[in-house]
Chain A
Amino acid sequence: MIKGKIAKVSGPLVIANNMSGVQMFEIVRVGEKELFGEVIETKGDLASIQVYEETEGLKVGEEVISTGNSLSVELGPGIMGGIYDGIQRPLKALRDLQGDFISRGISVSALDTNKKWLFQAIAKQGDQLTSGDFLGFVQETHLVKHYIMIPPGLSGKILEIKEGEFTINENVATLKDSEGVEHHICMMQKYPVRIGRPFVDKLQPNEPLITGQRVFDAMFPIFKGGTACIPGPFGSGKTVMQHQLARWSDADIIIYVGCGERGNEMTEVLIDFPELKDPRSGRPLMERTVLIANTSNMPVAARETSVFTGIAIAEYFRDMGYNVAMMADSTSRWAEAMREVSGRLEEMPGEEGYPAYLGSRIASFYERAGKVKTVGNPGRTATLSVIGAVSPPGGDLSDPVVQATLREVRVFWGLDARLAFARHFPSINWLISYSLYSHEFEKYFEKGELKGFNNLRKWALKVLEEESELQEIVRLVGMDALSPNDRLTLEVARSIREDFLQQNSYHEIDTYTSLSKQFLMLKVISTFEETARMAVQKEVEIESILELPLKESISRMKEVKETDLQKLEILTVNVKEMIAGLIGGRA
């Protein structure tokens, strides 16, 4: 154990002397109150420490004690449905101990150490196991079977394995390694947050992450194991979209990190999620969700780690073979926390004062996403998808955090203040957004019931592109200059925007749309275009097409329940017949 003394205090940064021998990223306890800190720089016998709690009152000369550990998460049954701060202290326990306001110097175990869980064995006595192998499982919630795995770095023969009710710290198995050393294994394991968990192989994502959000699924899809970013100015809908993803996407496990954002937004999740039902299982969403909440007014250094705490938990569930999705709102606050600490360290600043290593930090975070073949037996593939919100100053996409993020992620959902002002939500700008999974999308929808989805997608994007060119012309010379065909294109584009892309998260039906419904909705609009185009060719007046009582039925497609989808098929037929009627009428 190394004992040093505080030499300087400046905000969240403490410099201590007499610290030679301390490791980088080692956890230390700072001062009389034993505040949590992490060593982020060593120089001679000086150590620079970022402190995860308020440093008010710390004095020069107070003691700093090393712990020999690096910042780790506690992993085991009891983690699901929890809400933690940036260093995985359970906020409920903090409330019970300290009251409604957070104070300092408290260490609480992340997981309930008294609760007994029913451990069911998978492995048997005499089995030869290596790290990642399933030892057994606990049915943690209705939705989550929590597998107990051999921790990383351990292997050997099972001498004994138990079954029954245990706390997370009681032995459930004993393992003898090749050197004859016996290891007692309990259901809880610790793992350092800054190091990615090992895996066997990275694979190409090939299944869409279905989110129920039309602009994502049908236009700019993310795949399971993929990465996406949502940059946008304040009020453009980053958080609402992240919440929607956490609610509706078809991942098995959701890790939601509120990083330096509003307290009430975390409260909203805490209040809503236990009531909202998973559309597939009908169970409360909280049963598959872990929340990390380090709000903007909580200590800055813990904000920096909250993202790593989240991804370390996410990787643990990935290793069980699950499809995990992690949302981080907002990664800009995380980058700013790095900037603040870097500034106090007097490091040479890069762009906009961010540290020069900003890009590599962002890269090393998104790199932890992916579809992998996990370690351990039985062999399994699993995915970890990561979706980060970015909050650039003034919504300006040239911001260094946006730029560094765009170099890493495969899907870009660009939010647009102008759309948000007109209450076009989600305010995803369809002209700048992209998904690099369009090839995978095409392959995935080559066969099956939704065959043709990819053509509809390409068609819709093309119409929207044409619209933007036509609007240029309208702005110069007015609507009159357009041919009937162009007028029709504008009408169809408006319909795609308003009747398909726009989706109200707060509407009980509109909030989630299945792929089948998305497909049918696009089908209706494209049928409208096809037949209307034919009619225009036959010199039917475009006004008379627009006067048909179709516009309203099309705009009400969103309100059609998932159980009534045949209504949309009927609408397709109606669209065809009514417009054809106009052609017939002329003949």
Chain B
Amino acid sequence: MITKEYLGASSIAGPLMVVEGVEGIGYEELVEIKSKDRFTLGKVLEVSGDKAVVQLFESPQGLDPQSLRIHFTGKSLRLGVSLEMLGRVLDGLGRPRDGGAPPLAEEFIDINGRPINPFSRDYPNEFIETGISSIDGLNVLVRGQKLPVFSGSGMPHMRIAAQIVRQAKVLKSGESFAVIFAGMGITFEEANFLIKDFEASGAMERTTVFLNLANEPVIERIAIPRVALTLAEYLAFTHDYHVLVILADMTNYCEALREVSAARKEIPGRRGYPGYMYTDLSTIYERAGRIHGKTGSITQIPILTMPEDDRTHPIPDLTGYITEGQIFLSRALHRKGIYPPMDVLPSLSRLMTKGIGPGKTREDHSDLSNQLFSAYARGREARELAIILGEGALLDVDKKFLRFADVFENRFLRQGEYESRSVIETLEKGWQILSLLPVEELKRVRKEFITKYLDKYFSQAGDVQEDSIL
């Protein structure tokens, strides 16, 4: 293939560079830009007549448009991938950040990936035990799922992510696991905390970190999730790894996207984010999954901070429309000192029904979690009423639900950062707390399960109430 080199760009504005007088340039092809002392990359965003609009992947600072040597490579941006990348800390384009030598590539792969044919997908249904009750009991994570954490600034989402990485296991042996962490615009402390935690638990040797810190150029965040997922696909579908990909913070990614869109003067969608953000995000999130006939899998936990804790903000909103559920963190619970401060009611795992039940967790799991959800919802309603009218105004049965909600938050949700509960422990805890409620109110559980799992706690119901922390 003939590649083309031009001298000088006609303009650089923000993350965009315009090159004129070009010929035979392909849409989305990779561009190498050389200045006196730098070498940067970009991609073609639009070609029109003899003009190409190029989006830079790195900061344009210090680039003089006239003196640039611009090389159109005729290829799209590829990542050199290899098993050697495990244990390394790399930048947004896969270059070392840890002082080590560049990893030798075994293969070069287009970072944009290609959509998995829906006919080839295998349905995710293998339970992952995270050891965290609010996840394993109520919002189960399964292999091949994309389950984001919707958080807010100052909340412990990174600590939860680290706990999941430390504790997650599947009830099978002889499989290879890997973790890929893509940090976009996160602080040095956050990145450092995670890397230290991975090192301490021994996870680092099967982990690759791709990093762009908060003080580094925003546009370098655009390629990171795709670079990370390209390695993930290679590990999962070429080398049979079960890969857990953590993307944090997707809010910073979306902001970079908005910056490029604004520079192109595109008509904005809601709150200035581009109208194609849904499609763009889906080409990241849909790269999770399992494929028929392949052993490996890609499970994604994107983390995002909701600007002003606003759930209807386009970033959490569009994410929730693509991912297979979401875990909300609650500032109110966090203030009460409850860790993990999972906001149970709006949280959801859409793949839960397929990942639980006899042979996977236990037969009563589905009924029990439905019951816990609806009882907690009723308890919260009672709490709201009690705030306005005083507890005295509640019916006796509603007082019981209120009490249930308190105990549920303190005994079921609250958990130590280094405490790992087996799923059976979690389920038993759930039944134990349900014993606070009159049995005729437990409409969501089958009768036989009440006899089998609940009756034994009835005599002890008093105990639950006494030693609970209220």
Contact = CB atoms under 8 A, between A and B. Distances in A.
Partners in one complex: yes
A57 B43 CA distance: 11
A472 interface: no
Contacts of B354: 268
Interface residues of B, number: 80
A295 B25 contact: no
Interface string B178-202: 0000000000000000000000000
Contacts of B389: 477-478
Contact of B385 (A11, A92, A475): A475
Contact of B118 (A263, A340, A395): A263
A49 to B, nearest CB: 13
B268 A336 contact: no
Interface in A540-577: 551-552, 555-556, 559
Contacts of A233: 317, 320
Interface string A231-272: 001110000000000000000000000101011101110110
Interface stretch (A137-145, A151-159, A194-202, A498-506): A498-506
A94 B117 contact: yes
Interface residues on A, range: 35 or more
A423 B374 CA distance: 6
B112 interface: yes
B275 A267 contact: no
Contacts of B117: 91, 94-95, 98, 100-102
A333 interface: yes
Given A8-B48, A57-B29, A297 B115 contact: yes
B350 A9 contact: no
Interface string B238-275: 00000000000000000000000000001111100001
A94 B119 CA distance: 9
A58 B76 CA distance: 11
B43 to A, nearest CB: 10
A185 to B, nearest CB: 32
B121 A7 contact: no
A279 interface: no
A101 B46 contact: no
Nearest to B76: A56
Interface in A393-426: 393-396, 417, 420-424
Contacts of A475: 385, 388
In the A-B complex, the 5 residue pairs with the closest CB atoms: A394-B312, A422-B377, A296-B282, A478-B393, A421-B345
Interface of A: 7-11, 15, 55-61, 83, 91-92, 94-95, 98-103, 233-235, 258, 260, 262-264, 266-268, 270-271, 293, 295-298, 300, 333, 336, 339-340, 343, 349, 352-353, 391, 393-396, 417, 420-424, 474-475, 477-480, 498-499, 504, 506, 551-552, 555-556, 559
17 contacts: A56-B28, A58-B26, A95-B119, A102-B117, A233-B320, A262-B286, A264-B124, A266-B121, A267-B121, A295-B286, A340-B275, A396-B312, A423-B444, A480-B393, A555-B443, A556-B447, A559-B446
Given A263-B289, A270-B118, 20 more contacts: A7-B48, A55-B27, A57-B26, A58-B47, A59-B24, A95-B117, A234-B326, A235-B348, A258-B118, A262-B324, A266-B121, A295-B115, A333-B278, A394-B317, A421-B346, A422-B373, A423-B373, A423-B377, A479-B394, A479-B395
